Amino acid sequence: MAGFRKKQRIQLIVVGAVFLIAATSLVGYALRDGIEFFRSPSQVVEERPNASEKFRLGGLVEEGSLLRGDGETVSFRVTDGGEAIDVTFSGILPDLFREGQGMIATGTLQGDVFVATEVLAKHDESYMPKEVADALKEQGVFRGEDGS
């Protein structure tokens, strides 16, 4: 009787481990396209992402770089103080989007141009997305409200 219970416990542990591995694999497979990494312009220049890799690019919109094209197409440069990347976007920009302001865009790098599918701008005068602020601090360009 004791051998039967031991065998039953081992079978239960093996079945549980198989289910855990299967669940982890399914979650990883489902999220493979949904994970978007943040990069600053300097990080993009240092380690160029694959052409098919979707990621977030953030920094400051470079002064004097905003050009409005035909229809809703705009182009501008995003900088972190060290490097700058050309960006194109077809769509309506957020109301608070302007030169010299922080922003994050989601898209892919095609050649030397980042083609954005979504552009987000800061929502008030004191807010800067954490990823953008950290990248700008790393370049020595951004100082937060606390002076750091």
Report whether pLDDT(21) > 80: yes
| CA atoms of 68 and 138, how far apart (whole Å) | 31
Over the stretch 60-105, which tens digit does the pLDDT of each residue have? Answer: 899 999 998 777 899 999 998 889 999 999 988 888 888 888 889 9
Lowest mean pLDDT among 7-16, 33-42, 68-77, 110-119: 33-42
**SS3 of 78, please?**
strand
Q: What is the pTM of this model?
A: 0.64
- The alpha carbons of the chain give a radius of gyration, in whole angstroms, of 23
Half-sphere exposure of 93 (CA within 13 A, CB side): 25
Instruction: List residues bridging with 37 in a β-sheet.
Output: 55
Is 75 in contact with 67 (CB distance < 8 Å)?
Answer: yes
Report whether pLDDT(137) > 70: yes
Kindly report the number of other CB atoms within 10 A of residue 121's CB atom: 18
| CA atoms of 124 and 121, how far apart (whole Å) | 9
